[in-house]
Chain A
Amino acid sequence: MSDDPLAPSNPDLASFRAALRTWLEDNAPAALRGTASTPFQGYWGGRTSGFENDAQRVWFERCLARGWTAPGWPEAYGGGGMPIGQLRIWQEELRAMAMPLPLVGFGLTMIGPIVLSEGTEAQKKKHLTAIARAEVRWCQGYSEPDAGSDLASLRTRAVLEGDEWVVDGQKIWTSHAEKSDWIFCLVRTDPNVKKQAGITFLLIDMTSPGITTRPIELISGSSPFCEVFFDSVRVPAHQVVGKVNDGWRVAKALLRHERGMVGESVAAGGARVDVLKPYTVRDHAREVIGLDSSGKLADPLLRDAVAASEMEQELMRLTVRRANDAMKAGSQPGAESSILKVVGTELNQRRWELAMRIAGSDGLGWAGETYSDRDLALARQWLRSRGNTIEGGSSEVQRNILARTVLRMPK
């Protein structure tokens, strides 16, 4: 079928796009169209996470048959083999229909790309295929109780015994650890050198004896975060990615990825609570505060604040677009991309704080029928947003990095 216009070998992007549109028209379940919101919404895969509904299953299976759960990965590892031009069209067409991705998660976005660039052939065969087929869900084991912003000071220890690493220690802030099948970890393999030089990047099966997880409750209530404890966990030596003691370099490549994602996803709305999906500060303010006879919000200070909030969201959107467009035009994204994490998270906090201000005392409810579902969700959304400037690299660390690397400020 070399003349299949959807084949990766088809160099004609126009015919690819036309064929893809037809394929989507025939195969994208109607129930999912128009429902995409954040890059983390959809089917996560793995042993414990089922499909939310039948449409999600159908969409996943149809894409899987073509390798389109991981469209840009090589076909040999379960991907679709799409060259970059086709991949962009795939993304554009999905966006145009607001279709969620057929598969989401840290396997596809974080560990997959790292295994692809750093892994052995055996690792690629085993892990990439399992990710693309949604057989394995991954979580990230980086932070520790004493290693937050100063990640390189991590202490979870791995000691080589024969052809196995023996791992002891604790990870924290591990998203979805209890639902994940594998974890990629940074572990200390040499305590006697500069802290960055003694770290190794290790892949660990979460069903290994000696691993326990405990959920973390946040000020906003339940959360996807967990603690993960390692008690003499035995890990085959071939599950190291890259070289032993070269894990910091591998991790840095991955962290850059994560920071971009956090900033973009919170700025894209970040409202994970369904009742808040259509929430906008404008509509909220119009409803609660009301308009005066000249059509202005009755509270002039709030009017100014609502406009400022909408405008900074638009600034973020334009800046994300500028960074993406620079890549589309064939150049590296400029300095603008480096600010997205700080800007996206801080404006998100201001937005939820403004929402609280609009709600007044109605926004301060924790539970009970006195409060509307929206107001209850809003309070928790605001509380949760306080963490945005901590997770994925605190705003303070981000500013340190920007000052050094972009503004070339001296030591």
Chain B
Amino acid sequence: MSANPTQGARRLLVFDEDQRLLLDAARELLSQEAPVSRARALRDANEVWDAALWDHLVDQGWAGLLVPEDHDGLGMGLPEAVGLMEAIGRHLAATPMVSALMVGPLAPSLGTAEGRRISLAWQEDSRQPDPGHIQATLADDKVTGTKVLVIDGTHADGFVVSARDAESVRLVYVDAADARVEGLTRIDHRDIATVHFEASACRPLAGGLQELQAAVDRGTIALSAELLGLGSALTNRTLDYLRTREQFGRPLGSFQALQHRAVDLFIGLELTRSAVLGGAFEPCALGTALAKAQAGEAVCQAAREGIQMHGGIGMTDEHDAGLYVKRIWCAASLHGDPAWHRGRWARLRGY
């Protein structure tokens, strides 16, 4: 069994020097412009996304990371994308980056690289994150249907929408003005919307179900990487707390019961990193399912322990653990939870 479709010439599963330098630049930008205090301030102001940070990311070219160079993008690949998404997760940054990674290569002419915020409206049943499950219809250049859990939907300039015509699955572009957008207020205050298309004017895009599936899988890997960043940052705080917090006259981290649980968190995150890198360096359906399932399991455990090991302070709104836990729970559910991806794996493996 192998999730690796190309057994022959394989790449090393590590970032090279150029990739490391590029990702250092991203981390530096996020350290300056997106401290965790900013995520809290945005939440308190009922803002679901960080417009100023997005401008910085667009200026530095990150919006077009996966957009081909002939459409003014950077023309990079998923390895760079997961490095960026991990950093975004660590900072709890609220950007439409997942959407940019999904839509950028799918419809490069829509201007993602220049900072236009285009969301992918593909899912119709919240319990069925399968891009082939489509009831939205396309007739006479009008699209009709309802899409749920549209990431970055509230503030989108427009949508790439999947729909069926008489023959097959089509992708169309709908301007935000031609859609009815219902923003959701979720526990993590991330920008998620239900979007209604009611005979909305649209224009056709290239690609069908295969391209849609690839775009959704890119988003799934991106979310897995974001989870890795969220889990790593929260666990770093948890471990720091174990090292310094004293009870019964000893640091908490000197208790073996807590040490072993801390090691299990560390193991879970290392395995998640392997899965995310594997899914990014050698994209395939099995690798995507593996990354999302593992990230969901391991990072949700980091969330549970992040509160438990902090004790009472971890339950307070004043502490940042809660911000991470809420974002983690939502990201673990988006694009399918671990059980769904185990089911996907089983289906792909013929059982």
Contacts and interface: CB of A to CB of B under 8 A. Distances in A.
- Which one of B12, B259, B263, B275 has the highest number of Cβ atoms from chain A below 10 Å of its Cβ? B263
Contacts of B270: 319, 335-336, 339
Majority-rule SS of A interface residues: helix
Interface in B234-286: 239, 242-243, 250-251, 253-254, 256, 258-260, 262-264, 266-267, 270-271, 273-275, 277-278, 286
Given A285-B351, A319-B271, A311 B345 contact: yes
A58 B107 CA distance: 60
B202 to A, nearest CB: 34
B75 interface: no
Contacts of B286: 314
Interface stretch (A22-30, A321-329, A361-369): A321-329
Contacts of B290: 311, 314-315
A403 B271 contact: no
Contacts of B1: 280, 282, 310, 313-314
A291 interface: yes
Contact of A306 (B250, B258, B294, B346): B346
Nearest to A312: B271
Interface in A262-313: 280, 282, 285-286, 291, 295-297, 303-304, 306-308, 310-313
Contact of A410 (B254, B274, B346): B254
B300 to A, nearest CB: 15
Interface string B66-91: 00000000000000000000000000
B294 A315 contact: yes
A308 B342 contact: yes
A328 B243 contact: no
A197 interface: no
A122 interface: no
A114 interface: no
Contacts of B264: 399
A223 B243 CA distance: 43
Contacts of A399: 259-260, 263-264
B131 to A, nearest CB: 19
A48 interface: no
A308 B341 CA distance: 10
B25 interface: no
- Which one of A313, A326, A399, A403 has the highest number of Cβ atoms from chain B below 10 Å of its Cβ? A403
Interface string A335-367: 110010011000000000000000000000000
B349 A282 contact: yes
A104 to B, nearest CB: 25
A396 B293 CA distance: 27
A96 to B, nearest CB: 10
A357 B347 CA distance: 21
A410 B349 contact: no
A402 interface: yes
Interface string A372-411: 0000000000000000000000001001101110111111
A253 interface: no
B343 interface: yes
B13 A318 contact: yes
Nearest to A317: B2
B201 interface: no
A410 B266 contact: no
Contacts of A307: 342-343, 345-346, 349
B3 interface: yes
Contacts of B16: 329
Given A307-B346, A410-B254, 7 more contacts: A286-B350, A295-B351, A318-B278, A339-B266, A343-B271, A400-B260, A407-B263
6 contacts: A306-B346, A315-B290, A399-B259, A406-B266, A409-B242, A409-B253
4 closest Cβ pairs, A-B complex: A403-B259, A318-B274, A409-B253, A307-B342
